[in-house]
Amino acid sequence: MDYTQLGRTGLKVSRLCLGTMNFGPLTSEEDSFAIMDHAHELGVNFFDTANVYGWKQGEGITENIIGRWFAKGGGRREKTVIATKLYGSMGDWPNENLLSALNIRRAAEASLKRLQTDYIDVYQAHHIDRNTPFEEFWEAMDVLKQQGKILYVGSSNFAGWHIAKAQETAARRNTLGLVSEQSHYNLIVRAPELEVIPACEDYGLGLIPWSPLAGGLLGGVLRKIDKGRSASERIVQELDKHRDKIERYEAFCDELGEDPANVGLAWLLHQKAVTAPIIGPRTLEQFDGTTKALEIKLDDKALTTLDEIFPGHKTAPEDYAW
């Protein structure tokens, strides 16, 4: 396993991040435990979750599964850099969602209890809260850091200007600010290249792409359909929009002699702002082959070909001005 620093911090994380969103709804607790144990066997030390995962309001199903896995001991907690998120509704009453100081405090305490740990390595805002000023956000996060309950703060789904505003507010408080940003980024979804990635690079945030395979479109979807695998209605709709590109992509992967899923991950690993793509396996089998992406070296010709298939963006403002 390869490791890198998370943004401008001294924290070392694996180049692949284990996403746990399927733990509970689609993956049994037993299988979730097996996937997490195998992650450690492979050297993956970076796990991502959220208080809303499990998708039953207020239950924190996925965090509870991870907490029971930590409780098995054997160095599981100590070997894991755990990142979790808050923002979504955990109840029907006011102040049980978003990023007020009150919810930040309550949500952090609840996540610590479910995860059966006394600290969270990376505590992330799952979305921007347009009604909470960053002064309040940082005051609440700084209290948690002073208490030793969180170590680092990250964001998810922030625009470039949100990152800039968050960092400038943190600078006025003489605090570290954000160290990471989770964004929807892959060969098909290239919008973060406009302003999110430049903001991350300028302010020293590690980029953690979610949905690195575009919900399965970059995972060899045409091959799977040809073999009789069914596809969801969403995948069918997306495939209709991108079929020509996907056909060219899978043909190019054949030329490389590599699995499309691994090429999609490898492309992200070749982007200098990217710390670790989040892989969210439903099964151990799905997870087992992903480390092959770390071994794939894409030369300039291959990277150019991928950009021709899936055109990206120039850094703003050049993309929409001279």
pLDDT at 21: 97
Segment holding 92, helix H or strand E? none
Q: Are strands 178-184 and 206-210 parallel, antiparallel or unpaired?
A: parallel
In whole angstroms, what is the distance from residue 267 CA to residue 296 CA?
9
CATH of the domain at 115: 3.20.20.100
Average pLDDT across the chain, whole number: 96
Beta carbons within 8 Å of 321's beta carbon, 6+ residues apart = none
The pLDDT tens digits for 133-156 are: 999 999 999 999 999 999 999 999
Spatial separation of the C-alpha atoms in residues 215 and 233, rounded to whole Å? 12
For 306-320, the pLDDT digits (tens) are 999 999 999 889 999
Pairwise CA distance, residues 16 & 63, whole Å: 20
Cβ–Cβ under 8 Å, residues 213 and 270: no
What range defines the domain where residue 137 resides?
3-320
Tokens of 38: 């195998």
Give pLDDT tens digits for 230-242. Answer: 777 888 888 889 9
Task: Give how far Cα 180 sits from Cα of 37, 45, 71, Å.
Answer: 25, 16, 27
Residue 227, pLDDT > 90, answer: no
Q: Which residues are catalytic?
A: 53
Confidence of residue 252 (pLDDT cuts 50, 70, 90): very high
Tokens at 169, concatenated: 């507010």
